[in-house]
Amino acid sequence: MKTFYFNTGVKPFKYLPAVPVLPGNVIRAGTIQIPFDCEDVPDGAVFLYGCDTIKPGLDKSVIYREMKNTNMVSKYAFFQVIPPAPPMDGTVL
């Protein structure tokens, strides 16, 4: 199980009074972020978006996993799986 963060883009201290941070949310890099856990996400996968439905025809490089331990309103997290870069020494894979 890995923890990921949805960046809301809200900067709570930009306003007076400060925007409240809901229980379970955190402030990272100056913005409110919502943590969520997912199982079986490959290393290097990049979070794309959250959604309640899975539409057919997803690109093969996109995977989805159920979100757990979160207050996100979406059921699934979608990730882009980026293949490793080819070797720089000219080796053919």
pLDDT of residue 70: 96
Comparing CA positions, the residue from 75, 80, 81 lying closest to residue 53 is: 75
SS (H, E, C) 53-76: CCCCCCCCCEEEEECECCCCCCCE
In single-letter form, the type of residue at position 38 comes to: C
Instruction: Give the amino acid at 49.
Output: Y
pLDDT tens series, the chain, 93 aa? 999 999 999 998 888 888 889 999 999 999 999 999 999 999 989 999 999 999 888 888 899 999 999 999 999 999 999 877 777 776 665
The answer to pTM > 0.85 is no
Pair of tokens at residue 89? 């020494």
SS3 71: coil
Question: What local confidence, expressed as pLDDT, does residue 18 receive?
Answer: 83
Q: What is the pLDDT of residue 9?
A: 93
Which CB contacts under 8 angstroms, 24+ apart, belong to 83-91?
Answer: 84/44
Predicted confidence at residue 35, as pLDDT, reads: 97
